[in-house]
Structure 1
Amino acid sequence: MVLLRSEKGRGPSHRKPRGGTHEARSTPPGGTPVLLLGLGPGAESGPCASQGSSLNRTTPPLPDPSVLLVLPDLSGGGAERTSLNVRQKLCGQGRNVRLALLEARGEYLDLVSPDDYVLPSSRPLRGLARLCPPDSPQRALAQIPLLMGLLRREAPDVLMSSMADVTLPLALAFAWMPGRRRATRWIAREGNNTRVVIERAFPNPRLRRPVEKLIRWAYRSADVCLAISPGVAQGLVDHYDVDPKRIRIIANPVDLEGVRAGAVTPLTVNLPPRFIVGVGRLAYQKGFDLLIDAFSQLDDPGLDLVLVGSGPEEAALKARAEALGLGKRVHFPGFVEHPSAILARAEIFCLSSRWEGFGHVIVEAMASGCPVVVTDCEYGPADIVQQGENGILVAPDSSDALAAGLKQLLLRPDEAKRLATRALVRAEDFSVDTIAASYWDLFAETEASP
């Protein structure tokens, strides 16, 4: 499905109030027109309205393009899950879609066999890149020859890079290979709030400015920029001067069958009888410190909090829970490959993020039958959740707002059940079947473009 946003309606005052705990922001905040694919039929009642497909279905079919999906590794994030889900679905349909990793590591590596992905040929260069700090300029430079080797060996018709830490060195690799650049159509996928990520990584403006210039050049060099939500797309326009005509939006695909099957499987971790759950990397972005503070405001001693994930903030979060006298009621089971069994048993799922690109786990929680309370942060959650229809949106970066949203559902179990039932329907809009088809349309459209 292709959707077109009107040029009108800039700013939050133009969004129709939806009532409830928090009035959602305008998504995207700007009014630049961009094409949206794969948001599903639920988008008619969400931030966009269907305008029909822009692909010309009357032209003779072209041979299927060869597609290469490039990731830094298989860490447990949305970009990795998306690439795995899309590749599995399209390969099952006989499409030529391959996965390339710059490094064979990450929580999702056990989900694939060595035959399912390719690595750069040069072991010494891969070892050199591993010695460089993650997300550093040194690692980006070390990845350039790795990507050049992949391009020579694989020679894809279409290449999709995910995340800025691959997109930037790939742009530099293409700059050294003009012949390969002319032969390969390049889609730069962005799945996060890049501006905030760079601001936190480079707090010194003098260091940040050249990085931002390079990122801007890299995104403007791609044939297509793929965003996973309207807000991410608007950020590419506003902060990196990307031509909106070259932006497409496809939401993350969710393996709904896998989520539902996982929801009824036996638990692999010990859980308390009643609990609220948060799922994600234990990092500042995810706002679990805010969730712990919000949990401390709930007057329900029989209720616990389970934070599923791993990350650099784990020790600080445990210390925070202890300081609030909640050490025995806040649980840290670690990373779980398939959290739907936990989500299905929770009273509420809470996403407390300070920023997002989409909010993949929100859809997983919805598909698991769990009512959701999520922050209306930049970007993504408000494109999934309709306030008071299939979940609760609250103001971001506020433990008080999170506590109010959680209390609303804990005190009104009938409302929680109603929202969870409607959320099951909303989750269908993000099924891997629907989204993978939009990805293939994009690959074919990009390869056929002049």
Structure 2
Amino acid sequence: MRIIFRISYMGFGGAEQVFLSVARTLMQDHAVLFVTDRSEGASYTTLLNENIPVRSLDVPRTFMSLWRFKRVIEDFKPDVILSAYPDTNAACLLSAAIARHRAKVVVSEHASIVEHFQHKSVLTRLKVRLIVQWLYRMADRVVAVSEGVMNDIVPLIKQADKCCFIHNPVRFNQAAPAQEATPVSQSVERPVNVPGSTEPETVTKTILAVGRVTPQKDYMTLLRAVCALIETRPQHDIQVMIVGGTHDQAEMARLTEYIDQHHLQSYITFIGFSDQVERYYAQADLFVLSSAWEGFGNVIVEALAFGVPVVSTDCRSGPAEILQGGQFGRLVSVGDSAALARAMSDELATPSCSRAARLARAAQFSEREISERYKTLFEALV
């Protein structure tokens, strides 16, 4: 097969990582080509470093790419085109419709159409709705990253037979199952008693959250949960690390103000963006997702892949699917900081399942497993 991966920008988002994972596997036996709007982005460098074929259309906006991408289709002659995100999906479908070479087009949706766009402008919500409701009908398949996202799409395009869901792959190799007594990482021990005291040292537990600072991630609920947690646990026995760039300065200012008001500076550390996030998973005793909504929740699978116990909000659309209703980690209601604090304390004391079970669950989202599902889908179309 000849496959084009069409995406506007190769940043560090979920769709980019999915495309890279699938391409790495499929390019062993098939011809692949990435097509982007511009030759920039953190993951664009990854394409170059890994010798994955890529072509930039050199356009400032996706809808200015119609004719240039049409020519790429006619030149490369793909059997299948896989695209992501509403604007790019729309432009891709239009380019494929006017191209002389006929290719099967699979559009993918990585965010909840209901939740993700509810805070956008009326014009943006209308645009996305029209794209999904009318242009997605031109696609040969519509792939959602979770069953919840798929259920948002089906009522709009009214073609359930065209829709399916394929979960995102985990980007890290799963560790080999270890003996249950072997910890994922050694907790940091810090003495909090005065010199000469006979009191035992407090073991500090590291709690990890991964994701950009945005209202979607609802880190305020996490901070409130930390406040409640430190009231019920020995002083200084938890340390929270939040790994992710600051996407929303106003949200960051709100969080910083809360930290200052409640004297949480010694408990909370904002790491910022990291391209070596696996280092933090390896150090974590607990992973927490406090999001108000998700398309899937890749970071939960990543935590499971490192054997880390998980607590998550039961937000749309993915955490409950990944954790199978609480079998592989605790779920709490969105925005309920008291319930989140209790779940964090309980999961630290008594994890929901064994480390081996977490690793086995993560293995079901391996690059090989998920790429095989895409390959099966592509082969069925061509």
Aligned residues: 352
Mapping 1:96-245, distance limit 5 Å:
96-113=31-48, 115-121=51-57, 123=58, 126=59, 129=60, 139-175=61-97, 177=98, 179-180=100-101, 183-202=102-121, 204=122, 208-238=125-155, 240-245=156-161
1:257 to 173, 176, 179: 173
Q: Which amino acid aligns with 2:91?
A: P
1:431 to 350, 358, 366: 366
**How far did residue 387 of structure 1 move?**
4.0
Residue 286 of structure 1 pairs with residue 221 of structure 2: no
Mapping 1:415-426, distance limit 5 Å:
415-416=350-351, 418-426=353-361
Cα distance change of structure 1 residues 417 and 353 upon mapping to structure 2, 3 Å threshold: closer
Q: Any conservation in 1 of the 2:47–2:54 contact (CA below 8 Å)?
A: no
The CA deviation string for residues 312-354 of structure 1, in whole angstroms up to 9 with x for no partner, is 2353233332232212321112222232221121121001111
Mapping 1:296-307, distance limit 5 Å:
296-299=227-230, 300=233, 301-302=235-236, 303-307=238-242
Aligned partner of residue 201 in structure 1, secondary structure: coil
Cα distance change of structure 1 residues 282 and 188 upon mapping to structure 2, 3 Å threshold: same
Partner in structure 2 of residue 391 of structure 1: 329
Aligned partner of residue 84 in structure 1, secondary structure: helix
**How far did residue 356 of structure 1 move?**
1.1
Q: Any conservation in 2 of the 1:389–1:419 contact (CA below 8 Å)?
A: no
Q: Where do 5+ consecutive residues of structure 1 fail to align?
A: 1-64, 130-138, 266-271
Aligned partner of residue 242 in structure 2, secondary structure: strand
Q: Any conservation in 1 of the 2:225–2:337 contact (CA below 8 Å)?
A: yes
The CA deviation string for residues 4-38 of structure 1, in whole angstroms up to 9 with x for no partner, is xxxxxxxxxxxxxxxxxxxxxxxxxxxxxxxxxxx
Off by >6 Å, runs of 4+ in structure 1: none
CA distance in 1, matches of 2:7, 2:226: 36
Q: Any conservation in 2 of the 1:308–1:332 contact (CA below 8 Å)?
A: yes
**How far did residue 74 of structure 1 move?**
2.0
CA distance in 1, matches of 2:174, 2:329: 22
Q: Which amino acid aligns with 2:136?
A: Y
TM-score, normalised by the number of residues in structure 2: 0.84
CA distance in 1, matches of 2:25, 2:224: 41
Moved more, 350-359 or 207-216: 207-216
Residue 69 of structure 1 pairs with residue 24 of structure 2: no
Higher relative CO (Cα under 8 Å, sequence separation at least 6) belongs to: 1
Residue 277 of structure 1 pairs with residue 208 of structure 2: yes
Cα distance change of structure 1 residues 366 and 290 upon mapping to structure 2, 3 Å threshold: same
Partner in structure 1 of residue 27 of structure 2: 91
CA distance in 2, matches of 1:287, 1:427: 25
**How far did residue 359 of structure 1 move?**
1.0
Cα distance change of structure 1 residues 289 and 146 upon mapping to structure 2, 3 Å threshold: farther
Cα distance change of structure 1 residues 426 and 186 upon mapping to structure 2, 3 Å threshold: same
Cα distance change of structure 1 residues 311 and 217 upon mapping to structure 2, 3 Å threshold: farther
Aligned partner of residue 274 in structure 1, secondary structure: strand
CA distance in 1, matches of 2:274, 2:161: 39
Cα distance change of structure 1 residues 275 and 225 upon mapping to structure 2, 3 Å threshold: same
2:247 to 306, 309, 312: 312
CA distance in 1, matches of 2:184, 2:338: 33
Aligned partner of residue 301 in structure 2, secondary structure: helix
Cα distance change of structure 1 residues 298 and 258 upon mapping to structure 2, 3 Å threshold: same
The CA deviation string for residues 133-189 of structure 1, in whole angstroms up to 9 with x for no partner, is xxxxxx3433434433432333311000011131122233334x1534xx1100001
Cα distance change of structure 1 residues 292 and 79 upon mapping to structure 2, 3 Å threshold: same
CA distance in 2, matches of 1:403, 1:420: 22
**How far did residue 117 of structure 1 move?**
3.6
Q: Percent identity?
A: 28
Q: Any conservation in 2 of the 1:349–1:372 contact (CA below 8 Å)?
A: yes
CA distance in 2, matches of 1:99, 1:288: 34
Q: Which amino acid aligns with 1:69?
A: F
Q: Any conservation in 1 of the 2:306–2:359 contact (CA below 8 Å)?
A: yes
Q: Where do 5+ consecutive residues of structure 2 fail to align?
A: 177-182, 186-202
Aligned partner of residue 220 in structure 2, secondary structure: helix
- Alignment RMSD (CA, Å): 2.6
Q: Any conservation in 1 of the 2:33–2:55 contact (CA below 8 Å)?
A: no
TM-score, normalised by the number of residues in structure 1: 0.72
